[in-house]
Amino acid sequence: MSGAMRDPVPTAKGKLPVLGYRLFWESFGSPDRGTVLCLHGGPGVPHGYLTCLADLTSFGYRIVFYDQLGVGKSDRPRGTSLFTIERAVEEAEGVRKALGLGRIHLLGNSYGGMLALAYAIMYQRHLRSLVVASGLPSVPVANAELRRLVRTLPSRVQRTIERLEREEAFDNPTYARAAMAFYRRHICRLPTWPRELTRAMGELSQPVYRTMWGPSEFAVQGSLRYWDITDQLPAIKVPTLITGGKYDEITPRIARSIHRGIRGSKIVIFPESSHLPMLEERERYMRTVGNFLRRHDGR
């Protein structure tokens, strides 16, 4: 099921002061059973591609999104020194407190999944449950997997990537086209990408993405390149669901490493999806996550 459904209409939105900057947020539905706070990926892709998760309002949840600092409609600071995962954890906590969300279900996708894991290690007392959607606990391991996937691309595409990376020609349009061959296999496999995904990818914050990650998904050169919290996963005691796609750039091998690290966690790999099963297998994804949330409402 693709993203061809009607755009959801937010029940509330605005700008929120957090750690000295104003962040854009919006929410959908009412918290009859609780609130889900969603953390977008990238780092640097605005949250719009995740608003499909507003489907979870049908299970009785308020779904809250925000654009992280330097991203989307949130403030853009001067320089890049504030773009760290440690500050982003405090930012997520600042959003939770400023909106008065109480104990939340936390869902993070991709880099947002890294952020959700780091938040859970620091602030799990504020969580009812955790959903790690194609997240990762180790960038070095993910980088090795990403490079392995690049080696499965058509040889012509591989040669183009290798040549342009050697030349550090990351802004060459040919590099972007070669990267897109990877993205269509391992980020979203729908024949036509939903417009909210195309829009969000087009609005990627380059200062955030390049500072923290790098010039492409599989050229990890940013400040996160050595980040690894695998050994801290056993500290997470809240109910946890790990989701991913069979063809995910954050591979099932990585999802299983989180599952091994968090005792009692559940794992679901979606067989027709890559990095965005919430778009690629939308109905099944919402059912899986909605049922998990309902089991852990603390009701």
Edge-first strand order for the sheet with 104-109 is 12-18, 21-28, 61-66, 34-39, 104-109, 127-133, 240-245, 266-270
pLDDT at 16: 96
In a domain? residue 170: yes
Q: Could you state, in chain order, the average pLDDT of each consecutive group of 10 residues for the chain (299 residues)?
A: 58 95 97 96 97 96 98 97 97 98 97 98 97 98 95 94 89 90 95 95 95 91 97 98 98 98 98 98 98 87
> What 3-state class would DSSP assign to 48?
helix
pLDDT at 171: 87
Q: Which of 40, 105, 275, 296 is catalytic?
A: 275
pLDDT at 11: 85
In a domain? residue 63: yes
What is the pTM (predicted TM-score) of this model?
A: 0.95
Q: How far is CA 28 from CA 51, 57, 178, 223, 282, in A?
A: 9, 7, 37, 33, 17
The boundaries of the domain holding residue 221 are 12-295
Does 205 participate in catalysis according to the annotation? no
Does 248 participate in catalysis according to the annotation? yes
Separation of CA 254 from chain center: 14
Q: Which of 74, 110, 205, 265 is catalytic?
A: 110
In a domain? residue 1: no
What CATH number is given to the structural domain containing 30? Answer: 3.40.50.1820
In a domain? residue 94: yes
Q: Total structural domains in the chain?
A: 1
In a domain? residue 266: yes
Q: Which of 248, 265, 273, 296 is catalytic?
A: 248
Does 110 participate in catalysis according to the annotation? yes
In a domain? residue 6: no
In a domain? residue 113: yes
